[in-house]
Chains A and B, each alone.
Chain A
Amino acid sequence: MEKIIELKNLTKNFDDQQVLKGINLEIHQNEFLTLLGPSGCGKTTTLRIIAGFEEASSGEVLFDGMDISKIPAYKREINTVFQKYALFPHMNVFDNVAFGLNIKKMDKAVIKTKVERMLSMVGLANYGSKDVTLLSGGQQQRVAIARALVNEPKVLLLDEPLGALDARLRKEMQMELKKIQKEVGITFVFVTHDQEEALSMSDTVVVMNEGTIQQIGTPIDIYNEPENRFVAGFIGESNIIEGIMIKDFLVAFDDFEFICVDKGFPENEPVDVVIRPEDIDIVQPDKANLKGIVKSVTFKGVHYETIVTTKYRDYRIDTTDYFAVGLEVGLTFTPEDIHVMWQMGSY
């Protein structure tokens, strides 16, 4: 895939505070890329710099290989869907969507066809004359998407566009967005703090924290192979345990040595070990090295979230079997379930 946007050593300071500390990122054509991180991590600032609403303190923004740092927002072939949609309340649905085309002084008839086609794509055919302020949140969302896409941008930026919707509508719109992206075949850069949303929609996920990129990868990579404790913690619930990498394929923690599939660490290197809750099995105490007592059980629908207290820590286990509180149990996992990471700050 060809590069369309490239960020090189991007930094941004607000007053004395550095909110971006050197961002390097490539965004490819037709890619659905998500910037994921907690609030204040710099993801929205990055997006606003790409859109042209903020200027980077240093670094370059390349678009199709050209530096666009000095090009104002209104000349960039990029459109944005804003957090609270920022629809124009004094215009009806049609005029909102037609705004960009009217600015370009396009022929009225062409505008009409384009806008109507776009409205029917987002499922709002016949809504043209409606007052935008009277639409539901989901409908406003669709208008915002249509308003941006009708300009046929090369890149669409979406700034937490689903944040204001309820859970069900969110799921629906996630599917819909993915569908639209496939249909129009352009690059989407999506900003969210919701890891589930990021994992279910994206081709590429960029995990950010405190102005730096923590990891770039496919959702599966990010989930299964988190590069550090932050990513592991942020992407799904995890058991993160400090351990020692004794040698390749052997890691020690909680008084025991475990065979694993990781290698390439120095011998006796302190590391972080991640084991996902759904990867741990609860067995009879005599069938496992790690032993503990069930501390609590919470029903979560598909599974029980079970907390087991061992000598050193509480483990979280997601299991479809029920174990009563106070029961003594053993915990097992396979070498593939163990994921060894560098400790943060040691690389």
Chain B
Amino acid sequence: MRKKNSLFSKFYIAICFAFFYLPILVTMVFSFNSSKSLSKFTGFSLRWYKALLENSEIMSAVYVSVTIAILATIASTVLGTMTAIGLSKSRKIIKDMVLSMNDIPILNPDIVTAIGWMLLFSSLGFQKGYMTMLLAHIAFCTPYVITSVYPKVRSLDPNLANAAMDLGATPYQALTKVIIPMIRPGIFAGALLAFTMSFDDFVISYFVSGNGVKNISIVVYNMTKRINPTINALSTIVIVVIVVILLLANLLPRLGGGDNKKNNQNMKKLVAGVAVFALVLSLVTCVANKSNNKEARVLKVYNAGEYIDPDLLTEFQDEYNCTVIYETFESNEMMYTKLQAGDAYDILIPSDYMIERLIREDYLQPIDWDCLTNAEGLNPDVMNKEYDPGNVYSVPYFWGNVGILYDKTVVDPADLSEGWNLLMDTKYAGNLYMYDSERDSFMIALKALGYSMNTHDKNEIQAAYEWLIQQRDTMKPVYAGDDVIDNMISGNKALAVVYSGDGAYIMSENEDLGFLMPEEGTNLWYDAMVMTRNCENTELAYEFMDFMLRDDVAYRNTQYVGYSSPVVAAYEQAQEEDYEGIEAYVPRVGYEKDEIFRYQDTDIKKLFAELWTKVKAQ
């Protein structure tokens, strides 16, 4: 009986540990993978560590994360500890009030806090960047410090401070020699909590930061589209550092033995050392930023994540002796929110329908095409589209369409003629990925039914909705995000709706796949560079756009990103060298059933959103 129990409890513990540590282990193992895959281990290599060290974006993000975490920890620990001690001496009503108020930021969802901070900084006219991020971090860490220090203070004999002062200690000495040493465990726990909260914060940091200041979370989040083992390498290093710190924290006091005083002094030295180190680092940043500002040639570019070869940015800065502040967004809508909040950028790279909206709402200024010497190289097929007739405001950046990626070893070639209805073919039930996006999904349904994807006809929309419901119930598709890329490289399912650029990249990694552009027509899309109305340095902005249109630059960019280049020379070179025989790289042109997304009115948009929610609510 007893033995059985202990066997069960051992098993239980093992399961728990596996549950906690398996993900970490997988991360660490794949950081040493010799190939780009996150699911197939092909051999041991340190290439991702090398890539990590060479990636200046990640390294500067590490630096930002570490210095912000240290400074925010120190500031919030001091603030929180003082508040906790002060509170213990306050009247009960004040104490209760402050403590309940202290709970609100902790319980408040991060997103609410984040938007609050963003709006506050915007309305105060603060320039977003390192300082705003630091301030927000100090603010959201402090309540955690108060919560962990206050109970310790409360459990103290109220006469301890009196006893110290009675023995001749000034109030300050009483604090440092008696009160603080006694609540040290609470302070330490609070500081540790503050550090972790700050170090891995994404939501708040994302909204309060700007001017190219990014911490690790922001960088990693923007990288997830093309996830690669560099992140694993970074995670592994972070895990190792944490383990070392925890080991030291547990072992040092024991090694120090009973000599409290010595320990205290060592501790003080350590804390002081870390503080000085962080201060110096952040000072260096400030000075460096200042000296950058002196150059006066600064360009602020706002682009989608993982949508440029970072080396090109470095080259541009060197060649044109300027600084590019480069920020990335997750979706067009997120970009629009930031613009609305008053964030200033010089160049944006949004999608067609969003450009249409920005033109309508007067966010942009017209392009002087004479300033773009490389404009001749642009492919006429991507010019003069409905979203911006005559390309008054926009310079094409990438383009593509949406199609179905299929596994040639599974899908019968005869079935391909079904077009979008291939996604309704029960032969492949449970064996497909849909794209988790309302507009793309409705596009598929509308096209399958032979309607325009920009329709405003409620009956057609209702029919499309029913198509999607039927598909959901008969086909059991997985509504996937960017994880479809890695899954299709591994050949996990037979069919997937993908953007052509992603399709090209996936096909270059998995030879068994083909790309179908359905006969019923599909979505043709264009992303383009636009100049904001308040662009400060138009000369530099033109230089940047012109640089991106240069044949060699455009080629390297399309090579890196995988989407089709609007620059003819680059487009052709890529077809010959990198994407030979990969049909996804070559979007269909001049096909009358293909359409471009138009700007949607709010009521139509709302209808789509509601119906899509119903589709997904099973």
Contacts and interface: CB of A to CB of B under 8 A. Distances in A.
B170 interface: yes
Contacts of B169: 74, 99-100, 103
B162 interface: yes
A200 B159 CA distance: 28
Nearest to A104: B168
B615 interface: no
A16 to B, nearest CB: 14
Given A84-B157, A90-B260, A103-B173, A53 B162 contact: yes
Contacts of A147: 167
Nearest to B160: A86
Q: Which of B167, B170, B177, B178 is most buried by chain A, counting CB atoms within 10 A of its CB?
A: B167
A99 B164 contact: yes
A51 B162 CA distance: 9
A73 B166 contact: yes
Interface stretch (A75-83, A109-117, A233-241): A75-83
B372 to A, nearest CB: 71
Given A86-B157, A89-B182, A103-B173, A74 B168 contact: yes
Interface string A250-280: 0000000000000000000000000000000
A88 B160 contact: yes
B181 interface: yes
B446 to A, nearest CB: 73
A151 interface: yes
B167 A90 contact: no
Given A80-B163, A82-B163, A86-B162, A100 B157 contact: no
Contacts of B163: 80, 82, 86-88
B165 interface: yes
B319 to A, nearest CB: 62
A104 B260 CA distance: 21
Q: How large is the interface on A (under 10, 10 to 19, 20 to 34, 35 or more residues)?
A: 20 to 34
Q: Please report whether the interface of chain B is mostly helix, strand, loop or mixed according to DSSP.
A: helix
A185 interface: no
A194 B511 CA distance: 95
Interface string B159-198: 1101111111111010001100110000000000000000
B166 A80 contact: yes
Contact of B168 (A87, A92, A100): A100
Interface in A39-61: 51-53
Given A91-B260, A103-B173, A86 B167 contact: no
Contacts of B157: 84, 86
Contacts of A148: 166-167
Contact of B165 (A73, A88, A95, A104): A73
A103 B164 CA distance: 9
Contact of A74 (B166, B182, B261): B166
A72 interface: yes
A151 B165 CA distance: 13
Contacts of A95: 261
Contacts of B261: 95
A91 B181 CA distance: 10
B159 A74 contact: no
A80 B164 CA distance: 10
A84 B170 contact: no
Contacts of B166: 51-53, 73-74, 78-80, 148
Interface of B: 157, 159-160, 162-171, 173, 177-178, 181-182, 260-261
29 contacts: A51-B162, A53-B166, A72-B165, A73-B162, A74-B167, A74-B168, A79-B167, A80-B162, A82-B163, A83-B159, A84-B159, A86-B157, A86-B159, A86-B160, A87-B163, A88-B160, A88-B164, A88-B178, A88-B182, A90-B260, A91-B260, A92-B260, A95-B261, A99-B167, A100-B167, A103-B167, A103-B169, A147-B167, A148-B167
Given A73-B162, A100-B169, A103-B168, 8 more contacts: A51-B162, A51-B166, A52-B165, A53-B166, A74-B171, A82-B159, A88-B160, A90-B260
Interface of A: 51-53, 72-75, 78-80, 82-84, 86-92, 95, 99-100, 103-104, 147-148, 151
- Which 8 pairs show the lowest CB-CB distances between chains A and B? A100-B167, A86-B163, A86-B159, A74-B165, A103-B168, A73-B165, A80-B166, A82-B159
